[in-house]
Structures are given as structure tokens and as C-alpha cells.
Amino acid sequence: MENLKLIKTALYDYVLPEHRIARYPLARREDSKLLLLKNNSIIESNFYKIGDYLPENATLVFNDTKVVRARLMFRKAEGAVIELFTLEPENTETDLQIAFAQHSPVVWKCLVGNSKRWKSGILEMKIDQQDGAIHFIAERIRKDNDHSVIRFSWDKTNVSFAEILELAGEMPLPPYLNRKAEFSDLERYQTVFATYEGSVAAPTAGLHLTDELIQSLKEKNVQFERLTLHVGAGTFKPLSSQTIGNHAMHAEKISISRETIVNLIQHAGKPILAVGTTSMRTLESLYWIASFVRKDMNIQNIHLDQWYPYENLDNVVDTFETALQQILDYLDFHTAGTLHATTSIIIVPGYRFRIVNGLITNFHQPKSTLLLLVAALIGEKWKDVYQYALDHDFRFLSYGDSCLFLQEQENQ
């Protein structure tokens, strides 16, 4: 355990030239390149051919979170622009769907851009709509360590906070794209299965899928299951410490339906592939939550700590089917149809995967927790994969090309 915490972050660095970052998506989602790693061999193809490389009877598990227009730009009377980036409700136990459906006023944690120019007072915005303008106000209640707590209010009582963001907010493109969101991003920075609002970044592996491609994969006996992890701003937080043990992993809300859990149990012994690192993180979190969940626990307060999987190997469940059955028993005891929890799990080299056999993902930033996750799955081979991609004109990061990594061993 301690040896894992001493892993040097510099070992997961590489040179990413600016021109290799995909600033815009391709015209068609499925036309992105696909890099396949199987049996230690690298194969180059296109994403629309992914069905040719998936293992037989595979299940793909995707994240159905929806990116919210989280950036609110207020202009002060003297001209200064203040950006409020909405993160989560102040009451973190509030279900996100309930939080977005609330009416004026609401209180949220936010990042504040150009904060020095907003020392006091309120920020105001006029939001034009068909049945009359909305007067929208932001007031800073207090500053905390890494965010501010903001009270938002507006004068149309029949309008929800979700509708306010839809009318006034901007799509929160990743900072490394170094450009403002454009109209096309409203559609292209969402997956085709985006359903539940709550993310400030897209689960980008899913951006390559289209309805037509999904249907063609189903015709090849590929099954699809869905879960929800709401991606937080912490996903862009780099590994700034010398060793990974000093990195504080962000917590993210996850939701998995009883139906999905039942279907995964029925799929035992067959390949389960995560569409994206967020799906991977959620599925592996599910296994470890099962190791400590008890029927008498408060169903609203389940949290998986960052290092729990490494510090509690004595709590290992025999099989992932047993683990998922324990989750079902817990849900049935509470007559609940969905497991809600938060996870801070960090997946690093040395982690043993319990549920997932493979991963569809994009190319990630140097010295990032997402790159650590990839290295945990494919080992030192990540260096060859990334060098191949750099040498063969692959496009990197959120709007970039894709990878398919397949583990050879079965879940145990």
C-alpha cells in the first residue's frame, strides 16, 4: 500500500505538443481513429469499425450523465466580467436532479473567475425569453478554501434553476481547448445517451458513439448498460505532488439502477467493458462499496474513500457476482430502485480490477489521474501506446481519437 503511494508522478508524464490537442470534433463522431491494444500488439483502425474488435458477448457500460451549461458570465456596471462556474449544491446530500429542479432562490458552490473585481455587492443579469425578461441575481455568501458559496435568485417563480442555466449558461469546455464554447458544442460536447444533468465535463469516450453505431453493435450481440457518474471539475486537476500519495482525489456522485446491477450479474463470466474512465471508476467503486455496505446504513450517506481498496484487502468479496448481490440485498432492504453514492476512489498502477475487463477511452493529459487509471489497466505498455499515437497523427484529449484496451485475464 505504502509503495503505491510513493509512485512518482513524473513517471506518468509525456510531452504533448499543443498542435496534437483536438480543438474541435470531427464532422462525424464515429470517424475518429481507434487504437487497439490486444495481446500487447497495437492495431490502428477507425471507431466505426470497433465492432470488429470487441470480444464476443461483450457488454459495454456507458455513463448517461449530461453536461450542464455551468458557466455563468456576469458583466458589472464598470465593465468587468465575473465568471461563476457552478459546481454542486451547497447541501451536497441533495440529489442533483432535485437541485436542478428547484426554484428561486438556490445556493451553490462555485468557482469565481476574476474574483478580485467582485469584492462586494450583487451581480445582475437580464435573461431575455419569449414571455418576458428574467432578472437574475448572484450574491456571494462566503469564500471557502477552493470555492465560493453563491446564492442565486430570480424573479420568475415558475422557472427552475436548470432552465436558468439553459437560458443563460455556457457549455463548460475543458480549459485546455483554450477557446470559447460555440453553438456546435451544445450538441457535440454531449453523448447521444446524455440524460441526467449534473456534469461539468463530458464523459468523452462516449462522444464517439452514434445511435446508428449502437444499433449495429446490438445486431452483433453487444449489450449496453448504463450508469451515472456526474463528472466534477476535479477531473482536470493535475497531479501536482511528487508522489501520488499526496494527491487528494475529488469525490463524484454516482447512481446505478437495480436493473443494471441485475443485468451485470447475469453477464458474469462474459466481458464487461467500460465506455470511459468514469464508467470504469463507477463499476470498480460498486465492488468496493459492496464490501462495507450494511443494511442498517443510511442510504443517503454511502461514500467510498480514496484509498479504501488498497487498505481493506481483507474485505475482498469472493466474486463480483457476490458483491453485486450484496448491493441488491441492500437496495431491496431499503425498497430502493437505485444505488446513490459518492466515490473518491483513485485507480493507480498496482490496482487489481474486479469487474471490468476492458476500456474504451480517449488519450489523456500528462500527469493526470486518468492516465494513472490507464496505466493500472495496461501497465508500462501505456508508453508505447501514447508514443505510437504521437507518431501517427492521433488527436488527443476530449475531442480527440479513441483507444480500446482489452485485458486478457478474467475477473476473479
Instruction: Report residue 270 as a C-alpha cell.
Output: 462474459
Fold that domain 2-66+187-406 belongs to in CATH: QueA-like (3.40.1780)
Residues 310, 295: Cα–Cα separation, whole Å: 24
User: CA nearest 73: which of 147, 151, 146, 168?
Assistant: 168
Q: Is the pTM of this model over 0.75?
A: yes
pLDDT at residue number 94? 78
Pinpoint the alpha helices (H) of 314-380. Answer: 320-333, 369-378
Sequence-distant (6+) residues with CB within 8 A of 191 are 62, 63, 64, 202, 203, 206, 207, 209
Helix (H, G, I), strand (E, B) or coil at 165: helix
Amino acid at site 218: K
Residues 196, 66: Cα–Cα separation, whole Å: 5
Tell me the C-alpha to C-alpha distance, in Å, between residue 378 and each of 165, 390, 405, 407: 40, 18, 7, 8
Looking at the DSSP bridge assignments, the partners of residue 59 are: 223, 272
User: CA nearest 264: which of 322, 225, 293, 319?
Assistant: 225
pLDDT at residue number 297? 79
Residues 280, 274: Cα–Cα separation, whole Å: 5
Distance of CA 282 to the CA centre of its chain: 9
- What letter would DSSP give residue 153? E
pLDDT at residue number 191? 97
C-alpha triplet 113, 117, 122: angle, nearest 5°: 90
Sequence-distant (6+) residues with CB within 8 A of 270 are 57, 58, 59
Contact, 164 vs 72, CB < 8 A? no
Hey, how many other C-beta atoms are within 10 angstroms of the C-beta on 399?
A: 23
Residues 184, 88: Cα–Cα separation, whole Å: 25
Q: Where are the chain's structural domains?
A: 2-66+187-406, 70-170
Q: How many C-alpha atoms does 182 have within 13 Å on its Cβ side?
A: 8
pLDDT at residue number 411? 38
Fold that domain 70-170 belongs to in CATH: Thrombin, subunit H (2.40.10)
pLDDT at residue number 189? 97
pLDDT at residue number 79? 84
Residues 75, 84: Cα–Cα separation, whole Å: 11
Per-residue pLDDT of the chain (412 residues; tens, 9 = 90+): 678 899 999 999 999 999 999 999 999 999 999 999 988 899 999 999 999 999 999 999 999 999 999 999 999 888 899 999 999 999 877 788 899 999 999 999 999 999 999 988 999 999 998 888 999 999 999 998 889 999 999 999 899 999 999 999 999 999 899 999 999 999 999 999 999 999 999 999 999 999 999 999 999 999 999 999 999 887 777 888 899 999 989 889 999 999 999 999 999 889 999 999 999 999 999 999 999 998 877 777 799 999 999 999 888 888 999 999 999 999 999 999 999 999 999 999 999 999 999 999 999 999 999 999 999 999 999 999 999 999 999 999 999 999 999 986 443 3
Residues 206, 189: Cα–Cα separation, whole Å: 10
59-77 in b/e form (b: 16+ CB < 10 A) is bbbbbbbbbbbbbbbbeee
Contact, 74 vs 150, CB < 8 A? no
